[in-house]
Structures are given as C-alpha cells and as structure tokens.
Amino acid sequence: MKRIGKLMADIWIHNGTIIGGHGGEPIKNGVVHIRDNRIHAVGRAAEIGMPAGVQKIDAQGGTILPGLIDTHVHIMFEYQNPEVMAQQPFSLRFYNAVHYMRRTIDAGITSVRDAGGADLGTKTAVERGLVVGPRMMISTAPLGITGGHSDWWQPSGSGFNLFPTYPGMPEGLCDGVEDVRRAVRQVLRAGADVIKIMATGGVLSPTDHPDFIGFSEEELRVIVEEGEKRRGVKVMAHAQGLEGIKLALRAGIHSIEHGIYLDDETCELMLEHGAFLVPTLIAPIWVLEMAQATGAVPEYGVRKARESIEAHTESISLAVKKGVKIAMGTDAGVIPHGQNLRELGLMVKCGMTPMQVLVATTKTAAECMGWDDRLGTLEPGKLADVIVTRTDPLQNIESLENTDNITVVIQDGKILKNHLDKN
C-alpha cells in the first residue's frame, strides 16, 4: 500500500486485554507494538520494552484483537426491492460501494472475501489507498446455471439483474461442461482470487428454491479442475439444500456457504474433505426483518426466508457439534454493510463459545481464505491489522454489533478509525 509523506512512527497499543485470535488465554494489560505495516511484538506490558518515538494508543481497558474477517460479503450492493434497484443508474454502485467499504472498516472488518459483484478495479482502488476499504479477495461474477440462484430472469422479459456484465465483469450464467469451463476461465482472466458458484437454489432468487440442485457433478468437477487444480484458485459454493451440498463436497469444493440443510452425513463429508462452513445466519433473518419493516421483499423471498431460518439454526448447531471448521461470513450486501457483527451473537446461539466465534472471525476465516500466513492472529511478522473494542466480547459478544464499540481500526499499519482520542 502506498504511503504519503514521512515514514510512519511505530504504533504502541497498550492498556488493553489482548485476544490474539488463536483461542488461547487473553493477555491482561497487553501491548501490541506495530512497526510500519507489520506486528513487531505482542505480549504483557511488563515484558515488552517501549522504544522512543512511538505513537501511543491507550486502549482504555478495552480489548485488542486482530482485524476481523468476513468471508462472505457483496461489497458492491445492498439489497433492496428489485424494482427500486432497477431504477438506479448503473455507475452509482461504485460510489455506493465507497460507503459500504467505509462502514465495513468502521465495524472492525479489515479483510473480506467478496462472494460476487466486486471487480478488479474495486480491489485495486483499496490496494492503492484511493478509498478506505477492507483488503479484498474477489470472485467477480458468481457462476450459476440458467434458472438458478444467480439468474435474475423475470417472466416479463425485463427487470433487474443483480450481476450485470460490463468490462471486467464476465457473464456468470453457464450450462454444460464446456460452457462452465469457459466461464471459469473468464472469471480467472478478470482477476478472480476465488471462484464463487451457486451449487443450489436460494432465498432471494425469483425462479428457484434452496433445495434445487444447481450444477451437475460433472460441471462441478470441471470448475474445481479449472480453478483449484490448474490455477490454485479455490471454489466457494453457495450451497443450501442437502443434495447440492453433497455434490459440491464430493467435487472438492473448498467452502460451503450458508449450509441451511446439513445432516450428519454432510458434516462428516465436510470433515473428511477439510471443507469450511460459512454460516451467514443473519442473512435470512434480515430478509424477514426488512420485509416486515419496509415490505420491500418480493413474496417468494419472504416465504423462502421464513422456511429456512429454523432449519438454518439446527443445521449450523449440528455442524458446531460435529466440529466442522467454521469461518465467519455474513452475506453483507443482503444485510446492510456495517452490521456484519450481528452474526457473532447468532453463532453463539448455535452452540459456539464467544471465544470460538472470535477464532472463526479471525484465525479460521484467514485459513479459509488461505491468508493465515499473514493475517488472522496477533503475532510478530503478520500484517498489522489490529482493532480495539470498548467492551469485552467474551462477556458480551452482542456489544460488538454497535460499531461505536469498535474504537480503533488499524489496517496494514494505518489507523483508519480512532475514536479513543475523542474521549
């Protein structure tokens, strides 16, 4: 990342309890020493010498954590009634996204995996420091079948497409082995760091259902072959219904998104394949809340959200019990950006401890993205993504939902939010 002006001073965060992301005992009265864009030292205040000329941040008895990671967002949109979205000028999405990215940072999320919609230009703008936003792993266009979850076709023949094509954003609809191969190669050419596919139907799509199977087994194998086997680019699958989840796992998909209808067998398959589960528990709940508050959700969306909420909780609770690897992800974009941490309390309701939830939001999320060599825990040598919270998330995980309780956000050694100075 480019820096303007003089070399940055070291940053010295003190007077806080460190939760390092690896699930170990918190360190009381801890210090995190940042040098340039890396973590230089982490430990007890008594054990770490303070060099001269550091910029001090007094955590004021709060909690010091690694920058949080959301492994399932859509930074380019915020869901509204399709009729409203259809009226929006095309390029407005890029300006809106600037605000969505800022809100994501303000929530303490310093890295995201975009599950469809963000292109290489958006990622590059963040990397170059043109806009403030989370470090991004992008998928560009989600791949799906005709009539599947990413197909916004309407009987009238007109309407709104949530995933329009434009330079840098290929067509994601594809059918049959060779067409699917072409589509994978196109998203890779457009800069995809991860391939997003729709392995089953979903809640907000007009003509399908979560139980419907998307790609065939052969198509899934070609996707994994072109992506992970040939290029080392992993595949994340929107997968809600049982049969579609099984097909995806057998084909070697890296992460199962949503996982609304898991059973014992699928959990065991996940363990066997080392696949990650990204629950996005907040997504269907928000769809119902939005429907009740504004009526802005089509009938099919409300009906399918209502059907899935209870099953979703049971499904994720089962996966927790079975010890499936869980990475935090929210589907932000379906929910408003910045409210991502509402997910954490819901994960606790599925049987995870607050500490397990924090690990899922840091270390395991970084592992899911293949970024655990540089992010996810507070360790010397890792990139300096560090946040401070006013409250203790182990005592009250819901307190993190309020972004005012996220007092400091540092990304790559750069202070992007600091509300402690104002007190």
- Residue in the structure block whose two tokens are 């010397």: 380
Site string for Zn ion, 159-188 (x = CB under 5 A): ------------------------------
Dihedral angle at the C-alpha atoms of 410, 414, 418, 420, nearest 10 degrees? 80
- Is 229 part of the annotated catalytic residue set? no
Least distance in angstroms from the C-beta of 203 to Zn ion: 10
Give the burial class of 309: count Cβ atoms within 10 A of its Cβ; 0-12 exposed, 13-18 middle, 19 or more buried: middle
Least distance in angstroms from the C-beta of 283 to Zn ion: 7
If DSSP codes are grouped into helix, strand and coil, which group holds residue 327?
coil
Q: Read off the DSSP letter of residue 124.
A: H
How remote is the C-alpha of 249 from its chain's centroid?
A: 20
- Is 106 part of the annotated catalytic residue set? no
Establish if 328 lies at the interface with Zn ion (CB under 5 A). Answer: no
- Nearer Cβ to Zn ion (115/180): 115
Least distance in angstroms from the C-beta of 72 to Zn ion: 6
- Nearer Cβ to Zn ion (221/234): 234
| Measured distance CA(389)–CA(396) in Å, rounded | 11
The values of phi and psi at residue 56, to 5°, are -90, 140
| Whole-number Cα distances in Å, 324 to 195, 238, 269, 270, 320 | 22, 17, 10, 7, 6
Smallest CA-to-CA distance from 107 within 394, 353, 419 is with 419
Among the listed ranges 120-128, 328-336, 364-372, 384-392, the one in contact with Zn ion (CB under 5 A) is 328-336
Establish if 115 lies at the interface with Zn ion (CB under 5 A). Answer: yes
Size, binding site for Zn ion by CB under 5 A: 2
Tokens in use for 274?
Answer: 């080392």
Among the listed ranges 87-95, 117-125, 183-191, 331-339, the one in contact with Zn ion (CB under 5 A) is 331-339
Residues 6+ apart with CB under 8 A from 3: 129, 414
- Nearer Cβ to Zn ion (219/331): 331
| Measured distance CA(246)–CA(84) in Å, rounded | 36
Establish if 331 lies at the interface with Zn ion (CB under 5 A). Answer: yes
Q: Position 298: which residue type?
A: P
Which position among 106, 119, 151, 196 bears the catalytic label? 196
- Nearer Cβ to Zn ion (15/161): 161
- Nearer Cβ to Zn ion (66/202): 202
Among the listed ranges 7-15, 99-107, 300-308, 326-334, the one in contact with Zn ion (CB under 5 A) is 326-334
Which position among 331, 385, 412, 417 bears the catalytic label? 331
Among the listed ranges 112-120, 262-270, 347-355, 390-398, the one in contact with Zn ion (CB under 5 A) is 112-120
Q: Kindly list the catalytic residues.
A: 196, 331
Task: Please give the residue ranges that form the binding site for Zn ion (CB under 5 A).
Answer: 115, 331
